[in-house]
Chain A
Amino acid sequence: MLEYVWLIPLFPLIGAVFNGLLGKKIKNEAIIGGIGTAMMVCSFIVSCGILLQLVGMPAEERVFQKVVFSWIHAGNFTADMAFLVDPLSTVMIMVVTGVGALIHLYSIGYMHGEEGFYRYFSYLNLFAMSMLLLVLGANMLVMFIGWEGVGLCSYLLIGYYFHKKSAGDAAKKAFVMNRVGDFGFLIGMFTLYWWLGSNHNVWTINFVELKTASNLLPYGGVVTLATLCFFLGATGKSAQIPLYTWLPDAMEGPTPVSALIHAATMVTAGVYMIGRMSFVFVKAPETMMVVAIIGAATAIFAATIGTAQNDIKRVLAYSTVSQLGFMFLAMGVGAFTAGIFHLMTHAFFKACLFLGSGSVIHAMHHALHHGHLHDDPQDMRNMGGLRKVMPITFVTFLVSTIAIAGIPGFSGFFSKDEILWQAFSNPFHGGLNVFLWGTGAVAACFTAFYMFRLVFMTFFGECRINPKVKDHLHESPLVITIPLMVLGFLAVVGGYIGMPKLLGMLPNYFEHWLEPVFETANGYAHTYVHVEEYGHAWEWGLMGASVVIAVFGISIAYVLYIASPSIPARFTAAFPALHRAVFNKWYIDELYDFLFVNPCKAIGTFLWKGFDVVVIDGIVDGTAYVVRGFSGVLRNIQTGYVHNYALTMALGVVVIIAFYIFH
Chain B
Amino acid sequence: MELNYYLILSAILFSIGTLGVLVRRNAIVIFMCVEMMLNAVNLTFIALSKYLGNMDGQIFVFFVMTVAAAEAAVGLALMIAFYKNRESIDVEDITLMKL
A interface list, Cβ under 8 A from B: 635, 638-643, 646-647, 650
Contacts and interface: CB of A to CB of B under 8 A. Distances in A.
A646 B23 CA distance: 10
A646 B91 CA distance: 12
Nearest to B19: A650
Interface residues of B, number: 15
B98 A638 contact: yes
B95 A643 contact: no
Interface of B: 18, 21-25, 30, 91-92, 94-99
A635 B18 CA distance: 26
A635 B99 contact: yes
A646 B98 contact: no
A297 B91 CA distance: 87
Nearest to A640: B98
Contacts of B98: 638-640
Contacts of B25: 643
A636 to B, nearest CB: 10
B22 A647 contact: yes
A646 B22 CA distance: 6
B21 A643 contact: yes
Nearest to B34: A646
B99 A650 contact: no
Given A639-B95, A640-B98, A650-B21, 20 more contacts: A635-B99, A638-B98, A638-B99, A639-B98, A640-B94, A640-B95, A640-B96, A640-B97, A641-B92, A641-B95, A642-B91, A643-B21, A643-B22, A643-B24, A643-B25, A643-B30, A643-B91, A646-B21, A646-B22, A650-B18
A646 B96 CA distance: 16
Contacts of A638: 97-99
Of all A-B residue pairs in the complex, the 8 with the closest CB atoms, nearest first, are A640-B98, A640-B95, A642-B91, A647-B22, A640-B97, A646-B21, A643-B22, A646-B22
Main secondary structure of the interface of A (DSSP, over half): helix
A645 to B, nearest CB: 10
A646 B21 CA distance: 7
Residue of B22, B23, B92 with most partner-chain A CB within 10 A: B22
Contacts of A642: 30, 91, 94
Contacts of B92: 641
Nearest to A639: B98
A12 to B, nearest CB: 59
A635 B98 CA distance: 9
B92 to A, nearest CB: 6
A639 B94 CA distance: 11
A332 B95 CA distance: 82
Residue of B25, B96, B97 with most partner-chain A CB within 10 A: B97
A244 B60 CA distance: 89
A650 B22 contact: yes
A635 B99 CA distance: 8
Contacts of B21: 643, 646, 650
27 contacts: A635-B99, A638-B97, A638-B98, A638-B99, A639-B95, A639-B98, A640-B94, A640-B95, A640-B97, A641-B91, A641-B92, A641-B95, A642-B30, A642-B91, A642-B94, A643-B21, A643-B22, A643-B23, A643-B25, A643-B30, A643-B91, A646-B21, A646-B22, A647-B22, A650-B18, A650-B21, A650-B22
A646 B18 CA distance: 9
A650 B18 CA distance: 8
Nearest to B96: A640
A647 B21 CA distance: 8
Nearest to A650: B18
A509 to B, nearest CB: 85
Contacts of A640: 94-98
Contacts of A647: 22
Contacts of A641: 91-92, 95
A641 B96 CA distance: 9
Contacts of A635: 99
A650 B92 CA distance: 19
B22 to A, nearest CB: 5
Nearest to B92: A641
Contacts of B97: 638, 640
A638 B95 CA distance: 10
